[in-house]
Amino acid sequence: MPETVQIFTGKDLNRLGVQALPDLIKYTTNAQNLDFYGGAMPTWVIHGVSLADFNPNSTPAAPVFLNDAYQPSTVMGTGSLFDIARVEVLKGPRSGLYGRNTIGGAVRVLTNKPNFGRASGSIGVSYGRWGDGHVNAAYDAPITRNMAFCIAETSDQGWSGWQTSLQNGGVQFSAVGDLGDLGGLELTSITSLDYFDYGLNYNDAATGPVYATQVEHTPMRMAQENLRLGSGKPKRLDWLLGLDVAYEDLEENKQFQLFDDALETLYTGLSGAANEGILSYTQKTQSYSGYGQLTYHILPKLLLDFGARSTWEYKTYHGAFQQSPGYYMASNVTRQYQLKDHVTGKAVLRYQFDPLNMVYASVARGYKSGGFYGGFPIASTAQIDPYREEQVWAVEAGFKAQTKDRKLIVDGAAFYYRTYNYQNFTTEYSAVSKTITSTLTNLGTAVNQGLEGNIVWKPVPTLTLNLGAAYNDAKIVKSSQYQLDYAGNLVAWQGQPRLPRKRPSARKPMTRSRPSSYSIWS
């Protein structure tokens, strides 16, 4: 791969002791994890690009792909890593194969392929302090000579602590198969059906007495079909055409209670016992896209990679909101969003000294979908008005070098991103609730620029040394908007860092789980 990418095999994950996908960030150069709710909603920040949102209906800037199936919510990136063949962390905007909402990068998780020779299975159970229980199970078996299936289930549950039931579980069915040779061409189908049941029981104080609580329940259903037609055996011009159709349905039920406490009153302006907000809405998404990518050998060692995608996307929001004591109620709130700026692309020029060593330069255009604020609209229903998609132009140059025995691997890159219609939260005073409220909107233009490098050295087969370093500067360079700080002062967004600094959490969560995986390979 000519782009910046870090690859972790299943053996790497076991050696590093990585059990959950968010834990992999500590071994990934120039990546961070915005850890909302202490782990319930890990948000990947790659090259400083992400959206600091804590609602499950927002599309991620660096999404997870499980067996090449797009995971549309950040909450789906909390999973335990079990029965995994490899994880690829791809940096920078994606087009072609990974084109949906990927302006920062993509995290590609591939499970183990089933055994085509004979049936096999495994199971593991453990229990520890804080009521921490783990169950891992997998089974695979051949169906025909060219088809086999695999079922993998992992569940990590905690029954004490300040958070419980972060994920109630889910099921994913995926079928990946080669549909045949069409006159030397290759036709591939990837079919995915997902059900993910997200839940949150959150104590804002992290300990007793309870000052504020938030309870969420958000079932999600997704269906996706991806067809790919490729040129087959390597030629001077290799190409691939694809069609992607997806449907997503999310139901959010959220309740917040603020109890009488002097500190909370000082911070929010609310007082009295049991200030309560109830929010219930559905969000549905339809997405259709066509894409293509090609590799052209200009000279034997000089290659051009090009990918492009055109997407049609439509979202609807329908919900109701109630806040007490006596602020307002709203029902049958309906909003619509349609993607307008829908074309993405990427071109990479690379000089391949040999299969292991290269230099490259790339330019890319990506987008992140717009949508609706998924939190409490405590000022007015105008907070639900759709925000636009953000667009990014990205330039990158770098190199990759390896020894023939692959005992030493060195790579480095420099990048510059310019993002328009940057999405983030702004604050304003609400005369309805008499508090400072947050609204998700488009702020202006942001810039990310930086350098990164990695060295991997394997002096002996049982020892691997990794060294990574990065510099990143991300800020808002153009904005006409202002926000209120919590002292009531107007502060200009222009010149502010692109993302807020990470807040420390009181204690790590006691629950993590990954949806079950059901796969058919042929």
As given in the structure block, the two tokens for residue 88 are 């690829």
Q: What is the pLDDT of residues 124-154, one digit of tens each?
A: 777 776 666 667 777 777 777 666 767 766 6
Q: What is the pLDDT of residues 73-100, one digit of tens each?
A: 888 877 667 778 889 998 888 777 776 7
As given in the structure block, the two tokens for residue 159 are 């029954």
Q: Is 299 helix (H, G, I), strand (E, B) or coil?
A: coil
Q: Provide the pLDDT for residue 244.
A: 93
Mean pLDDT within 427-440: 76
Q: Is 131 helix (H, G, I), strand (E, B) or coil?
A: helix
- Asked if residues 30 and 470 have their Cβ atoms less than 8 Å apart, the reply is yes
Q: Which helix (H) or strand (E) holds 467?
A: strand 463-478
Q: Give 135: exposed, middle or buried? Use CB within 10 Å, 0-12, 13-18, 19+.
A: middle
C-alpha 140/C-alpha 148 separation (Å) is 7
Higher pLDDT: 286 or 94? It is: 286
Q: Provide the pLDDT for residue 499.
A: 62
C-alpha 346/C-alpha 366 separation (Å) is 8
Neighbouring C-alpha atoms within 13 Å toward the C-beta of 422? 32
C-alpha 233/C-alpha 310 separation (Å) is 26
C-alpha 174/C-alpha 149 separation (Å) is 10
Mean pLDDT within 282-288: 96
C-alpha 12/C-alpha 85 separation (Å) is 10
The pTM (predicted TM-score) of the whole model is: 0.84
Strand 105-111 and strand 120-128: the pairing is unpaired
> How many angstroms separate the Cα of 401 from the Cα of each of 18, 279, 407, 452, 457?
26, 53, 11, 15, 12
Q: Provide the pLDDT for residue 509.
A: 33
